[in-house]
Amino acid sequence: MTLLPWKREAQKPGPQTSAFEDLALPLLPALYNVASWLTRNPTDAEDLVQESFLKALRGFAGFETGTNFKAWIFRILRNTYLTSRTGLEATRTVALEDELDEQRVSGPGLYPEGAIDRQTPEVNLMRLADRAMLHGALEKLPPPLLEVILLCDVEEMKYKEIAVVLEIPIGTVMSRIARARTALRKTLQGQDTQPRERGA
Amino acid sequence: MTEHISQADLNALADGELSPDQLAFVNDHLAACPACTSAALVQTLLKANIAKAGQRYAMPAGLEERLKRLATSDSSGRSRPSGRSAMAGWATAAAILLVISSGLILMLQGRRGAELAALEYQAQVSEVSDLHIATLAAGLGPQVVSSDRHTVKPWFQGKLPFSFNLPDNLPGDTKLDGADLTYLHNQPVAQLLYTIGRHRVSVFLTERRSGEPMDGKQSEHSGFKVTSVGVGDLDIVAVSDVDQARLAELVSLIRSVQAGAKA
């Protein structure tokens, strides 16, 4: 009996898989780093990267050549995280607070003069460079602020790209970055972690 | 120039997001305002240090290779049926004929539903045994080769209309070798490939469409032992030449971790 119609062919990746790998593989360390920050668990981070990688591969046919692949695959990672167990827990924890703050800070008078900390003694500058303190401060950030600061400062994405990844307006990107940095500075100065403009 | 630079502009300055006009304005102000210059310095230092501190987690060794293999197997698995799928196709066709034949015989003889169920079960046993034999005879590696449940389980995402869990702690001489996507009654099923000692084992995870779960059924076919259990909407059928107790132990372990899996 001949099984010609179903004859096994040599397994080799097609041109589309190869193109996908060329684009995706160099981004794996960055994806894993962000996944680890978000999940705070090595196993969950691996699972998140793997699931995102496979989703991206399967959806690669729909990726528009010439557009921003990095933003595209980070958006897949972020959406996969949001639907994961840890992502859902984190979202439930901070959603209300985040929405309220969003409304408060997105209006006019967003950055009153009093919100700007112009006291920069040497000790504060030293704290800014203390990696352990920075890690601690980043860990205290709620996920919406952590992800925006990672994309902006660590991944060096432009506001427009971050808006694509997080699927939010650029204005919201800017306000979240401002709140994240304010919170980081306050934590590093050993003060209240709440951004000052919340009470303004 | 009386007003200080806003925090939004300080952030945009540090992030390189100011337009040329805005940048010129800010630079003019910074040249004359020590307070804003200091604030801009802090903002820039903070950004630079977060960029360094944020790169905290190194990718584990082997993850990239694993993803490369997954990409290859995923794309080849989606692009055309494998040789084993061919075997499964013939076995499925044979089993369908058997079930149809069984149905016709029952209609002619007017037998009761219990007898039909027994025949269907026998057809199922025959079919999974054939699939297991085809796997052994083909001598081909699994479609996904891994002893890591975190590799095997995600490989089925998008291939099966249900999900399942795999046990982490297997008995001492039991090992997960990998898995195949195959077909029973024209439905995609997971064929997990284990080794118990030197004995090869196929464990089929199928979504139950109708009828009673095949709970606790054990039988033999062509010298192979077959053990079946049901959990939720899943049926778990294991085939091997290992002794029935060892086979039942593995099936029971797989069954025990299905809580939380969505069928």
pLDDT tens track, chain B, 263 positions: 458 898 889 999 999 999 999 999 999 999 999 989 988 988 898 999 999 999 999 999 889 988 888 877 766 655 444 445 555 556 666 666 676 666 666 565 655 556 556 666 777 787 788 788 878 876 677 888 888 888 899 898 888 888 899 998 888 889 999 999 888 776 788 999 999 988 999 999 988 766 666 667 788 877 889 998 888 888 899 999 998 888 989 999 999 888 765 54
Residue A77: alpha-carbon gap to chain centroid: 9
Q: How far apart are CA B206 and CA B95, in angstroms?
A: 16
What is the pLDDT at residue B105? 60
Task: State the nearest Cα–Cα gap between B7 and chain A, in angstroms.
Answer: 6
Whose tokens are 């990095």? That residue is A70
d(CA A5, CA B83): 10
Residue of A16, A17, A155 to mutate for B, most B C-beta atoms under 10 A:
A17
Using the Cβ of A123 and the Cβ atoms of chain B, whether some distance falls under 8 Å is answered with no
Cβ-contact B168, B197 below 8 angstroms: no
Q: Map tokens 């800070």 to a residue.
A: A105
The whole-angstrom distance between A93's CA and the closest CA on chain B is 22
Determine contact, residues B239/B226, Cβ cutoff 8 Å: yes
Q: Are B260 and B165 in contact (CB under 8 A)?
A: yes
Going B142 to B144 to B148 to B149, the CA torsion angle's sign is: negative
Distance CA B127, CA B208 (A): 16
Which fold is adopted by the domain B63-256?
Phosphorylase Kinase; domain 1 (3.30.200)
Q: Which of residues 135-154 of A touch B (CB under 8 A)?
A: 135, 138, 149-150, 152-154
Q: Is A51 at the interface with chain B, CB within 8 A?
A: yes
Beta-bridge partners for B175:
B195
Q: Which residues of chain A carry a pLDDT beneath 70?
A: 1-17, 85-129, 191-200
Which residues on chain A are in Cβ contact (under 8 Å) with B52?
A: 131
Domain boundaries, chain B: 7-53, 63-256
Q: Which amino acid is at A148?
A: V
CB A192 within 8 Å of CB A117: no
Residue A111 to residues A18, A47, B9, B45, Cα–Cα distance (Å): 47, 39, 10, 20
> What confidence tens digit (pLDDT) does each residue in B79-131 have?
444 445 555 556 666 666 676 666 666 565 655 556 556 666 777 787 788 78
Residue pair B237/B190 in contact by the 8 Å Cβ criterion: no
3-state helix, strand, coil in chain B (%, to 5): 50, 20, 30
- pLDDT above 90 as % of chain A: 40
Quote the CA–CA distance of B20 and B262 in Å, as a whole number.
55
Structure tokens belonging to residue B121: 């079960």
Chain A residues with CB-CB distance to B4 below 8 A: 113, 116
Kindly give the pairing relationship between strand B234-240 and strand B144-145. unpaired
pLDDT digits (tens, 9 = 90+) for A183-193: 998 888 875 44
ipTM (interface pTM) = 0.74
3-state secondary structure B189-207: EEEEEEEECCEEEEEEEEE
Tokens read off for B144: 């996904």
Minimal Cα–Cα distance from A196 to chain B, Å? 12
